[in-house]
Amino acid sequence: MGVVQAAAGPDPDGRSGDAAARQQVVSDIVDVFAELNGRLRQHYVERSAEFGLSATDAAAVQRLREPTPMRALAARLGCDPSNVTSIVDRLHRRGLARRTPDPVDRRITRLVLTTEGERMQAALDARLLDAPPVVAGLDLDQQRTLRELLRTAAASPPGA
């Protein structure tokens, strides 16, 4: 159930019933969503740790599928570019990624996975995308429906 508790009986005056019911559905969704988000985060933390990586570092490895400027990786991770430096430093120390100069713009550093990094990426994909909490318990059809609904919600502009 959501934060807003459902009334015990029917609406006394019979007017606010619709609005209350609608608010209840929204409240329920937000609540389960938050619950699942917590589990999903834990899933990523625990499974990334199996490879000796933080969840953030693992996410970075998953997102390096072609030569990528630092800023672009920051955008994909949804964080500030200043954070990427330390992430890439750690991946470099682990022998998973390296910095290469951009051929045309010398301000840009392009990030590339090493061979070991590519192996790690495949392993992470298999392990992290194996029945994560948002999807576990849903068959393929249900997953497709869920994806469609979430995409529709995401297509609604943030400031609407």
Partner DNA sequence: TATTGTTATACTCTATAACTATA
Partner DNA sequence: TATAGTTATAGAGTATAACAATA
User: Could you tell me if 49 and 60 are in contact, meaning their C-beta atoms sit under 8 angstroms apart?
Assistant: no
Q: Which is nearer to a copy of itself, 99 or 136 (CB)?
A: 136
User: Could you tell me if 64 and 118 are in contact, meaning their C-beta atoms sit under 8 angstroms apart?
Assistant: no
**Residue 83 C-beta: closest distance to DNA, Å:** 5
The residue type of 18 is: D
- Output the six-digit token pair for 58: 């693992």
Q: Is 84 a residue that touches DNA (CB under 7 A)?
A: yes
From CA 125, how far away is CA 61, in angstroms rounded?
Answer: 10
Sole residue written with tokens 């948002």: 134
Residue 14 binding result from DNA, a copy of itself, none, given CB thresholds of 5 to 8 Å by partner type: none
DSSP per-residue letters across 78-91: TS-HHHHHHHHHHH
Q: Is 119 a residue that touches a copy of itself (CB under 8 A)?
A: no
User: Could you tell me if 20 and 11 are in contact, meaning their C-beta atoms sit under 8 angstroms apart?
Assistant: yes
Which positions from 1 through 20 interact with a copy of itself, judged by CB under 8 A? 3-5
From CA 43, how far away is CA 49, in angstroms rounded?
Answer: 10
Q: Is 93 a residue that touches DNA (CB under 7 A)?
A: no
CA distances from 148 to 57, 145, 153, 154, 157 (A): 29, 5, 9, 10, 16
Q: Is 54 a residue that touches a copy of itself (CB under 8 A)?
A: no
Binding segment for a copy of itself among 7-15, 36-44, 81-89, 101-109 (CB under 8 A)?
36-44
Q: Which is nearer to DNA, 22 or 65 (CB)?
A: 65
Q: Is 75 a residue that touches a copy of itself (CB under 8 A)?
A: no
Q: Is 70 a residue that touches DNA (CB under 7 A)?
A: yes
Q: What is the DSSP letter of 118?
A: H
Binding site for a copy of itself (CB under 8 A): 3-5, 22-23, 25-30, 32-40, 42, 59, 62-63, 65, 78, 125, 129, 131-138, 140, 142-147, 149-156, 158, 160
Binding site for DNA (CB under 7 A): 54-56, 69-71, 78-85, 88-89, 99, 105-110
